[in-house]
Amino acid sequence: MSASSAVIARVIRGPITESIHRGHIAVVDHTGRLLHSLGDPQAVTFARSTAKLIQALPVLESGAASDFGFTDAEIALICASHNGEDRHVRAARSILAKAGAEADDLQCGSHYPFHKPTSRQMRQEGEAPTPLHNNCSGKHSGMLSLAAKLGVSTEHYMSPEHPVQRQMLQAVAEMAGLAPEEIPLGVDGCGVPVFGLAIDRLALAYARLGKPDGLSAERADACRRIIAAIRREPSYLAGSDRFDTRLAEATGGRIIGKMGAEGLFAVTVPDEGLGLVLKIEDGAQRALYCAMFEALVQLGLLHTDEMEALAEFREPKVTNWQGTVVGSIQADFKLI
């Protein structure tokens, strides 16, 4: 990360600031023009799960989504870091079945659902999680469907050299205005390649996703299909009580955002042709949503009723073990 980060949020306990989170913000339009920033808009980080909406493009462009008859919910799940709720597991299983694959073909690994009631029930009943519960099972199911459409083996579908991963890297590069070789690769939490991007380039990709003017007809159609699917089925993008889903619900899909691990959030505002990316430098998710809320407010993008619907994310409370409120997390920055 860049050394020129800026204060982005403070953790307040009683009368003092106990901790400070620093970070970076870039706001870019679909032509690539930087409109607002904080810290270093060219700070490079891994896109993590914010890349999922862009990685979904080849699934649609290839014809896999239409040939296999994917629903809006299933397309949204391909873009998701989902909660592992029952509806998410069913949708992932359906994607696989339509593509002629099975849960055992998923190589993303297993973990208990993010959704605490579901996780609690599974533990109480002695039910072990499967790869379908993995928050990335939608993305991996989409990858397997693309492999099926391409007629290639799925044995090493997570390898950077696999045709599926090459197509996804190409899509990310093109949307970010880069050549594939300019993007450093790492390994994501679910085992597939993850893309190193300057946050203003990731913001450009999101701006183009929402307003794909000048892109090929196939790419533009895929962008619009992804946006439409998430607008219609926002609960499949994340799930109950998650900011990604709540933001899309509160705004009627006028604003669509996706979190990524290590304190990253990316937003597209299709009607405005805007992309907005925020990175918390130390990776702390606790500072992420209040900072994104504040950025959207400063940009005049949230209506009064939308702010009220999302109010719980604006200033998260700090509580002690008794549940007593002892402080809060507050955004503290001014976009330039």
Rg of the chain, C-alpha, whole Å = 19
Closest CA to 256 of 61, 79, 64, 101: 79
Q: Using CA atoms, how far apart are residues 274 and 276, in angstroms rounded to an integer?
A: 7
pTM greater than the 0.75 cutoff: yes
Closest CA to 277 of 186, 197, 165, 161: 197
How high is the pLDDT of residue 2?
63
Q: Using CA atoms, how far apart are residues 150 and 232, in angstroms rounded to an integer?
A: 28
Distance, CA of 57 to chain centre: 14
- Structure tokens given for 324: 């007593």
Q: Using CA atoms, how far apart are residues 79 and 82, in angstroms rounded to an integer?
A: 9
Closest CA to 295 of 312, 276, 317: 276
* Integer angstrom CA distances of residue 314 from 9, 74, 112, 266: 11, 30, 28, 17
| Averaged pLDDT, groups of 10, the chain, 336 residues long | 88 97 98 98 98 98 98 98 98 98 97 97 97 98 98 97 98 98 98 98 98 98 98 98 98 98 98 98 97 98 98 96 97 97
- The residues, ordered by sequence, that sit 6+ positions from 173 with a Cβ below 8 Å of its Cβ are 179, 180, 182, 183
Name which CATH class applies to 6-331: alpha beta
- Buried b / exposed e over 144-167, threshold 16 CB at 10 Å, is bbbbbbeeeebeebbeeebbbbeb
Are 77 and 232 spatial neighbours (Cβ–Cβ below 8 Å)? no
Are 70 and 95 spatial neighbours (Cβ–Cβ below 8 Å)? yes
Q: Residue 159 carries which DSSP code?
A: S
Q: Using CA atoms, how far apart are residues 328 and 325, in angstroms rounded to an integer?
A: 8
Closest CA to 135 of 236, 213, 233, 279: 236
Q: Using CA atoms, how far apart are residues 276 and 221, in angstroms rounded to an integer?
A: 22
Are 266 and 260 spatial neighbours (Cβ–Cβ below 8 Å)? yes
